[in-house]
A = this chain, B = another copy of it.
Amino acid sequence: MPKEKNKEKLILDAAIRLFTSKGYQATRMSDISQEVGMSKGLTYFYYKNKEDLFMALTKKAFDQFKDEFREVYLSKGKTGLEKITDLVIRVVDFASKNQILYDAIINFMDLVKKYNQEESRKEIDPLILESQHFQKLLEIHHEPAKFGVMMVSQGIKDGSIRPELQPEITFYTIWSMIIGFEKMLGPVGYDGKEVKINPESLQPGFLKLLQDMLKGTIQASKPATVQTSLF
């Protein structure tokens, strides 16, 4: 029945809305059921518990995230380097428009780190480990990156990226930069007297450095441009 899938989606969307406006902690399960207009019990029928719901949200986040990566990868008439540049912009945009989804992705990265360390795995809430969504996420969380790696590979082939670079390492380095850049947007936004930069001034320089880091000898006829209309 598509009915059920629908209910599940309604709950998830309500959760996203509420987590976004009030935060995860501050949102009560009852708020969510109320927002959807169903009983608490039914919510629990679809999602085993709050953690499970959040893991489902995280799964959705990764799916959407992968779509972003895929779209950029499949965009026509661009060099690999241009796609990488586009990706940075898209990810930052995604983060600002889907704050809670992006947070869920970052949170999942922390979770994976703990999961991979024998001594800190016990710190993870058992309910998370039990969630089927979590298990699924362990399988698929590398998928967005695969498109990224392919972009780098393409860049090497089309000469926009230096041929001596190793695609995986290069892409994960790029991803590091993206993640850090997004986090950076908070502090540099601080309007302190002594701070000379802000998000608007940081972005072009950041992209320029990223391109410098990557670019090969063969330039695209139209050099990788930096959009400034982002923020």
- Does B173 contact A209, Cβ atoms closer than 8 Å? yes
How many of chain A's residues have a CB under 8 angstroms from any CB in B? Answer: 55
Say yes or no for A37: interface residue by CB 8 A criterion: no
Kindly identify, within residues 1 to 37 of chain A, every residue whose CB is under 8 Å from any CB belonging to chain B: 21-23, 26
A142: chain B residues at CB < 8 Å are 187, 190, 192, 194-195
B180 touching A112, Cβ below 8 Å: no
Question: Quick one: which of B183, B192, B195, B201 contacts A176, CB cutoff 8 A?
Answer: B183
CB contact under 8 A between A175 and B186, given known A142-B195, A205-B166: no
Contact yes or no, B209 A212, CB < 8 A = no
Mask: chain A, 168-198; 1 = CB below 8 Å from B; 0 = not? 1110110111111101111111111011110
Determine the residue in chain B with the shortest Cβ distance to A124: B23
Main secondary structure of the interface of A (DSSP, over half): helix
Contact call B172/A202, Cβ cutoff below 8 A: yes
Check A190 against B123 for contact (C-beta < 8 Å).
no
Contact flag A169-B205 (CB < 8 Å), given A110-B186, A186-B112: yes
20 example contacts (A-B, Cβ-Cβ < 8 A) are as follows A23-B123, A109-B186, A112-B186, A113-B186, A113-B187, A113-B189, A116-B190, A168-B197, A169-B205, A172-B197, A172-B202, A172-B206, A173-B181, A173-B202, A175-B180, A176-B177, A176-B184, A179-B180, A179-B184, A209-B213
